[in-house]
Amino acid sequence: MMDVTDATRDAGADAMIRACLSLDQPRSFFLFAGAGSGKTRSLKDALEGLETQTLTTLRKHSRKIAVITYTNAAADEITRRVKADPVFQVQTIHSFAWSLIEGRTADIRSWLESNLQTEIAEIQAAHAKGRAGNAHDERVKKMASKAKRLERLAEIRAFTYAPVGDNFGRDALQHTEVIALAAHFLTESETFQNIVLARYPFILIDESQDTMKPLMEALLTFEARHRGRIALGLLGDTMQRIYTDGLRDLDQRVGHFAQPAKQMNHRSRARIVDLANAIRRDNDGRQQRAREDRPGGTVRVFLAPSEGTDRAAFEAFTRAEMARITCDPSWQNAEAIKTLTIERHMAAARLCFSELFEPLSKPDKLKDGFRDGTLPAMRLFTHRVLPLVTAQRNGDAFAAMAVLRDGSPLVEKRGIRDGRAEQVTGLDSARAGVAALMTLFNDERDPSCAEVLAVVAEHRLFPIPDQLRPCLRHDSSVASDMADILVEFGPSLDDLDLIRSETTPPTETTITEAWAQALEAPFSQVARYLAYVEDRSPYGTHQGVKGLEFPRVMVIADDVHTRFKGLASYETLFGVKPLSDDSQKKASKGEETTIERTRRLLYVTCTRAEESLALVLYSEAPDTIRRFLISNGWMAEGEIVMAATDGTCQAAALQR
C-alpha cells in the first residue's frame, strides 16, 4: 500500500486532471480547490505534465490550449511558469472573449443593430407609460443616443476593444458587450462553434466561480452540445466567490464533469484551518486538512461594543495582546500585519472617502464595478483627471502631456484637426483647459468632483462618459455640444451594461441620483478611493487579497458602517440581527442572502492567515456573538476577549 503523505494526498486529483486533457478522449472537469490548496500549482502541473506528443500534435495543427485567469498578474505568472510557450494562450476572461470575436465585424454589427433596436423599443414602451420629469428627459436622451449609434453602425469598418482601460470611440466596444457577444456566438452560431472547436481542444478557467454568468452559462451550453470533442476545465471554489455576477450554483451545474477535489490546505496552521472548516460547515460541508508539519497556530476574537468604543485604542490593544499571546513581537508593528475588512463601507469610513463611496455602492448596476475600480465613469476621475492634477502639482509637464495624449481628444490628431475656428490649436485649448482646472485648487481648495467634472466638460479635456452627462449643469455653455462630442468619441455608457451588473437593473433615476450625490464629494477622496481599490491602503480588499497569504492577519468587522440592505452583515450571520425582508425574499427565490454573502467574505478574509489571526468584532450585542461562536464550535471560550461594557480596553477591564 502506497504511503500517503501531505505532499501526495492530492496527487489523485492532479492525475484525474491530466487524464481529462486527452486529445483522443477529452473530458470536462471541475476541480474543487479550497483556500491554500495549491490550485495554481495544479494548473501549472497539468500544463507542464502534458505529453510531448500532445503538444507536438497541437503545434502541427495550429491548435492552442486556452488558459483563462482571473487577473493580468495571474496570466503573467502562468505564462512565466510555462516559459511563454505559444501553444498556451494565457489570458484574462475579457481578453479571451475578445480573441474569439475580434475581426467578426459584420456579425458584431448585426448583433449591435438588433440589440439597439430592441432597447429602443423597450424605452419607447416605457416612455409611453411614463410621466414628465427627469426620468422622461433621460429616456428622450437615451433614445436619441441609441438611435444615433444605430445610424452610424454602418460607418464602422472594424470594431476595437481594450480589455484593460477605457473604450472610447465610435468603433469601440464596451466590456460587457464583448462578453455578451462571445456568449451569443458560442450558443447561436454553429460556424463560430466549429471555429472554437478547431482552435481549442481544452479551455481551462481559473477562479471559475467569478467568471461572469452569461459567458459561463454559454460555455456550459457549448460544452454540453459538443461533449467528447472538447474539455472545459474549471478550477475554483464557490465559497470564495467575490462578485455577485458569478454563477452562484456552478458546482451544481457540472454533475457530468469529472470532479477531482483537493483535501489539503498547505497555507495555514491547523487552528486556522479548523476555523475555516467551521465557517463553511453550514454552507457546503466541504472540509480541509492541515499539513502535519503545520500544527498549532493562533486565533483570537476581540469583541467590543459598537457604541462608546475607541476603535483605534481597541485595535492597538488587539495588536499588543496578539504579540503577547503568540510571542511574536511583529504583531506590534502595524506594517507587518495585513488588516482586512468584512465590508468595504468600514474601510471607506476609516480612509475618509465615504461621501464618494456610499452613493455608488448602492445601485446594483454600479456597485461591483465601483468597488473593484473598473467602473468606466469613475475611471474618468481616477485614470484621467487625478494623474493630470498630480502631474501639474508636481510641476511635471512631461507627465501631464502624457496623460493628455493618452486620453484627451484635444491633443489627438483628430481633436486638433477638428478644432473650432476661434481656437488656435487643440494643444492651446488643452493648455487653457488644464489652467482652468488647476484654478479650482488655488489656495489649497479641495473642489467637489462636480466642479472638476464641469471644467473638464467645458474645456473638452476628456470625453465625458454618458452616465455623468445628466450631472452637468444644463446651463453650461457646452451642454449643446456634449451629444456631438460623445457620439464622436464613444457610445453612451448609460446605454450599455457596466462591467459588473446585477440581474435586476435599477431605475435610471437611481443611477443619476447616485452620481449626483457622489459628485458632491471633495475631489481629494478620489485619491483615497484609488489607493484602496489598488490595495495601497492599510485595509486590504477582498479582490486584492484573493489567492494571497500573510503571516499575521487582523480581520475587522463593524456593522455600524453597513447602511444598505442586502450587503454583508456579520451581526446577521451571528444572530444579533434578524434577516432583512429583502434577504428573506431572496432566500425564497433561491438567491443569495446576506448570511451567505457574509459567510463567504469571512471565509476569504480569515483564510489569508498563515500563522496567526485576530478577528476584531464591534457589536451592539457582544454577548450574543460570544455565545454563537462557542455554541457553534467556532471558538473556545478562552479564545474570546471581551471589552468592558463601556468599550474601554485596558487589560484590567478585559475578560479572558
Please give the grid coordinates belonging to residue 591.
438567491
Q: Which of 154-168, 472-486, 495-509, 534-548 has the lowest mean pLDDT?
A: 495-509
Q: 239 or 74: which carries more pLDDT confidence? A: 239
Band of pLDDT at residue 245, cut at 50, 70 and 90: confident
Question: Do 647 and 310 contact (CB within 8 A), yes or no?
Answer: yes
Query: Which sign does the torsion angle of CA 301, 306, 309, 311 carry?
Result: positive
- Which superfamily does CATH assign the domain made up of 11-101+177-265 to? P-loop containing nucleotide triphosphate hydrolases (3.40.50.300)
Q: Are 255 and 225 in contact (CB under 8 A)?
A: no
Predicted confidence at residue 500, as pLDDT, reads: 33
Q: What gap in Å lies between CA 633 and CA 287, rounded to an integer?
A: 14
Amino acid at 76: D
Beta bridge partners of 203: 66, 232
94 or 509, which is more confident?
Answer: 94
Q: Report residue 479's pLDDT band, with 50, 70 and 90 as the boundaries.
A: very low
If you average pLDDT over residues 211-234, what whole number do you get? Answer: 95
Strand partners, 554: 339, 614
Long-range contacts of range 445-448, CB-CB < 8 Å, 24 or more positions apart? 446/522, 446/523, 446/524, 447/522, 447/523, 448/519, 448/520, 448/521, 448/522, 448/523
Which of 184-188, 291-295, 530-534 shows the lowest mean pLDDT across its residues?
Answer: 530-534
**What pLDDT score was predicted for residue 337?**
94
Question: H or E stretch including 184?
Answer: helix 175-188
CB contact at 8 A, 446 and 526 = no
Percent with pLDDT over 70 in the chain: 86
Closest C-alpha among 429, 438, 439, 495 to residue 462: 429
Cα–Cα distance measured from residue 317 to residue 331, given in angstroms and rounded to the nearest whole number: 11
Going 516 to 521 to 522 to 527, the CA torsion angle's sign is: negative
Is pLDDT of 655 > 60?
Answer: no
The predicted pLDDT at position 373 comes to 78
**What is d(CA 31, CA 596) in angstroms, rounded to the nearest whole number?**
22
Query: pLDDT confidence of 392, banded at 50, 70, 90?
Result: very high
Distance CA 517, CA 525 (A): 14
Within 8 A by CB and 6+ apart from 405, the residues are: 411, 412
Mean pLDDT of the chain: 85
Query: Is residue 167 pLDDT above 50, yes or no?
Result: yes
Cell output for 648: 474601554
pLDDT at 281 over 60: yes
Q: How far apart are CA 494 and CA 55, in angstroms?
A: 45
316 SS3 class: helix
175-188 vs 213-225: helix axis angle to the nearest 10?
20
Tell me: pLDDT of 480 over 60. no
Return the pLDDT at 565: 44
In this predicted structure, the answer to whether residue 582 has a pLDDT above a threshold of 50 is yes
**Taking residues 81-95, what's their average pLDDT?**
90
Of 408, 414, 451, nearest to 431 by C-alpha is: 408
Q: Which of 234-248, 372-386, 461-475 has the lowest mean pLDDT?
A: 461-475
Task: Please write down the HEC assignment for all residues of 472-500.
Answer: CCCCCCCHHHHHHHHHHHCCCCCCCCCCC
Which pLDDT belongs to residue 220? 97
204 contacts 43 by C-beta, under 8 angstroms: yes
What Å distances lie between residue 606 and 36, 74, 227, 557, 612, CA to CA?
12, 22, 38, 12, 10
Residue 412 has what pLDDT? 66
pLDDT exceeds cutoff 90 at 168: no
pLDDT at 544: 60
Contacts of 503 (CB under 8 A, 6+ apart): 213, 245
Q: Which three cell numbers stand for residue 585?
A: 425574499
One-character DSSP codes across 185-234: HHHH-HHHHHHHHHH-SEEEETTGGGSBHHHHHHHHHHHHHTBTTBEEEE
Which pLDDT score is estimated for 487? 38
Between 485 and 337, name the one with better pLDDT: 337
pLDDT at 506 (0 to 100): 39
**Mean per-residue pLDDT, 406-417:** 69
Instruction: Report the C-alpha gap between 156 and 170 in whole angstroms.
Output: 8
104-121 average pLDDT score: 94
Quick one: CATH architecture of 270-351+538-653? 3-Layer(aba) Sandwich (3.40)
Is pLDDT of 583 > 80? no
Distance CA 299, CA 615 (A): 8
pLDDT reading at 288 higher than 90: yes
Give the bridge partners for 231, in sequence order.
Answer: 202
Whether residue 561 has pLDDT greater than 80:
no
Q: For 415-453, b where at least 16 C-beta lie within 10 A, e where not — what string?
A: bbeebeeeeeebbebbbebbeebeebbeeeeebbbbbbb
CA distance 257 to 340: 35
Helical segments of 419-459, H only: 426-439, 449-458
The three grid cell numbers given for residue 193, joined into one nine-digit string = 462553434
Q: What's the pLDDT band for 69 if we cut at 50, 70, 90?
A: confident
Three cell numbers at 192?
463560430
Cell 486532471 identifies what position?
A: 17
From residue 20, alpha-carbon distances to 64, 202, 221, 254, 346 in Å are 16, 9, 19, 15, 45
Helix axes 39-48, 72-81, angle to 10 degrees: 40
Q: What pLDDT score was predicted for residue 477?
A: 40
Does the pLDDT of residue 138 top 80, yes or no?
A: no
Mean pLDDT on 190-203: 96
Mean per-residue pLDDT for 122-132? 82
3 state DSSP class of 244: coil
> Which ranges of 519-574 would DSSP assign to H, the alpha helix?
524-533, 542-545, 570-573
Q: pLDDT category, 54, cuts 50, 70, 90?
A: very high
The pLDDT score that the predictor gives to residue 427 is 86
Q: Categorize the per-residue pLDDT at 369 as very low, low, confident or very high, splitting at 50, 70 and 90.
A: confident
Residue 537: the pLDDT is: 82
User: Does residue 648 have a pLDDT over 90?
Assistant: no
Dihedral (Cα; 405, 410, 411, 415), 10-degree rounding: 110
Residues 6+ apart with CB under 8 A from 73: none
Higher-pLDDT residue of 212 and 139 is 212
Task: Please tell me the distance from the alpha carbon of residue 613 to that of residue 309, in angstroms, as a whole number.
Answer: 21
Q: Is 283 exposed, middle or buried (0-12, 13-18, 19+ CB in 10 A)?
A: middle
Question: pLDDT category, 498, cuts 50, 70, 90?
Answer: very low
Q: Confirm whether pTM is higher than 0.85.
A: no
CA-to-CA distance for 597 and 240, rounded, in angstroms?
Answer: 10
- pLDDT beyond 50 at 640: yes
- Over residues 47-67, mean pLDDT: 92
CA distance 361 to 344: 9
337-373 b/e (C-beta count within 10 Å ≥ 16 → b): bbbbbbbbbbbbbbbebbbbbbbbbbbbbbbbbbbbb
DSSP for 586-652, please give it: HHHTTPPPHHHHHHHHHHHHHTTEEEEEEEEEEES-HHHHHHHHHHTTSS-GGGEEE--TT----GG
Answer yes or no: is pLDDT of 456 > 70. yes
* Alpha-carbon torsion angle 249, 556, 38, 89, nearest 10: 70
Lowest mean pLDDT among 93-107, 159-173, 562-576: 562-576
